[in-house]
Amino acid sequence: MTARAFLATTFGFLLSLPLFAAAHRKHVDATTPSGAIVLCYHIVESPLDARMEISRDTFRQQMQYLEMTGYNVIPLRHLYEYVTGKRASLPANAVVITLDDGWRSTYTEAYPELKRRGFPFTVFVYPQIIGQTATALTWNQIREMSENGADIEGHSFSHPFLTRRRNENLDDAAYAKWLEKELEDSKRILEKHTGQPVEFMAYPYNDYDHYLAHAVGKAGYIAALTCDFGKVVRGSDPLKMRRFVIDKGMDFAAFRHFMGATPMQLAEMTPKPGDVVEPAAAVISARIPNFKSVDPRSVGMALLGDGSLLPYAYDANTGAITLMVTDAINALKGKYHRAVVWATDTKTGRRVEASWTFKLPEEVMPAPTPTAAPAQIAPAAQPASRPSTSRRAASVVPITSGAAVVAGHVPR
């Protein structure tokens, strides 16, 4: 099969992958406080991709949200150890970040963002694609990421459908031999290039069943990941661990919802949702009306958009929370901002969250001053042009998810 035909087949099925995952969403409660959410990314910043791509701004926004609002990004191995009882507990709001296939954007777009934040992450790679196209990773890039903490794991050798029902053209003996090669060659080649053990696998196309899971374990993998929607909790089957597929059809409000954030009421927000405020305003505040229902130790506040963690204060006696912008003029100048408040519900142990947005005044610039006609060619009856005193507003790019909030939901 040519590289072009292979990529066309791959992308054709990937277009249907979110729909498959969506079929499982109603059966899984993502807000369960225990366990962890595993995120599954494919391609960052490839606008021509029909479905599996997200923009670099979206990826950065999601990573900033995880970093600043109380989530804890953990290695995949820690989750495996928790699932199998080898680790007693996980931090609150635990998240695992994975990227599938081996696209070049894993190195050029995702890796810098993850490395800058110190986030552990896993890349599921199928060796056949490496170095074969301009959009694929190279072995040097894989080694560099591995040497800097990335976890490089298996995704089969050539990314085919792996189950027996998808390979009816092979008899039992031929299928067993072919499957062994797909599973074991991938493992062997990746270990050779990284010098690290390969013990985890992601099923290509989310195509798996009980028999394939058994074969994966027999080939030396201790865990495997699906694209079925849901959390991974204590006692989950390590060879059928769930993930949340992130694609360009998911806006920021949906991302927050699927991360397990349930609505929390806020009152007395300052600035008010959608307000235009002056850069000199240095206080962002709100009040949690039902503050007695949340754990005061879990309450937090962050301002997304600036990119830095800012100090905040919470009054457990009134539910008032205030964030201090110590250098407001420089920190807020020329940006849209989203304030996020979160906490843990004392009865359910679930994360509750609300957010609202505000913006700075539209930057105004003087209109260009018309140049007066030279005196020697201007007709006597036409006076020289006068400089214009009008001012025009510079264009402003709106944020992704709107500008208002009601109980933690930002309308699309």
- C-beta of residue 343 within 8 angstroms of C-beta of residue 294: yes
Domain that holds residue 80: 3-258
Indicate if 303 and 222 belong to the same structural domain.
no
CA neighbor of 128 nearest in space, from 181, 199, 173: 181
Closest CA to 17 of 238, 191, 250: 250
pLDDT of the residue at 33:
73
Q: At what angle do helices 139-147 and 172-194 cross, to 10 degrees?
A: 60
Alpha carbons 38 and 98: distance in angstroms, whole number: 7
Q: Which of 340, 359, 378 is the last residue of a domain?
A: 359
- The reply to whether 404 falls in a domain is no
Output DSSP code: residue 162: -
**Same domain for 317 and 191?**
no
Looking at residue 274, its pLDDT comes to 86
- For position 202, what pLDDT does the model report? 98
pLDDT of res. 359: 80
- Is residue 294 domain-shared with residue 325, that is, in the same domain? yes
Pick from 242, 258, 274: which residue ends a domain?
258
Does 42 lie in the same domain as 73?
A: yes
pLDDT in tens, the chain (412 residues): 444 444 444 444 443 343 333 333 334 456 667 899 999 999 999 878 778 999 999 999 999 999 999 999 999 999 999 999 999 999 999 999 999 999 999 999 999 999 999 999 999 999 999 999 999 999 999 999 999 999 999 999 999 999 999 999 999 999 999 999 999 999 999 999 999 999 999 999 999 999 999 999 999 999 999 999 999 999 999 999 999 999 998 999 999 999 988 999 999 999 899 888 766 556 899 999 999 999 999 999 998 876 678 889 999 999 999 998 766 545 555 567 889 999 999 999 999 999 998 887 665 444 444 444 433 333 333 333 333 333 333 322 233 333 233 233 332 3
Contact (Cβ atoms closer than 8 angstroms) between residue 328 and residue 318: no
Co-location of 157 and 285 in the same domain? no
Q: How far apart (Å, rounded) are the C-alpha atoms in residues 249 and 402?
A: 16
CB 73 within 8 A of CB 96: yes
Among residues 258, 289, 306, the one where a domain terminates is 258
- Token pair of 340 as six digits: 């996020």
| Cis status of the peptide bond prior to 120, with omega within 30 of 0 | no
Residues 207 and 99 in one domain: yes
Do the domain assignments include residue 395?
no
Q: What are 324-366's pLDDT values in tens digits?
A: 876 654 555 556 788 999 999 999 999 999 999 888 766 544 4
Angle ∠(43,68,97) on CA atoms, nearest 5: 35
Same domain, 324 and 350: yes
255: which 2 tokens? 């991302």
pLDDT of residue 199: 98
Q: What is the CATH number of the domain that holds 74?
A: 3.20.20.370
Say if residue 38 is in the same domain as residue 113: yes
Which pLDDT score, from 0 to 100, does residue 347 have?
A: 94
**Could you tell me which residues come within 8 angstroms of residue 267 by beta carbon, excluding any fewer than 6 positions away?**
286, 287, 288, 289
What pLDDT, in 10s, does the model give residues 100-130? 999 999 999 999 999 999 999 999 999 999 9
- Burial of residue 339 (CB within 10 Å: 0-12, 13-18, 19+) is buried
Residue 95 lies in a domain: yes
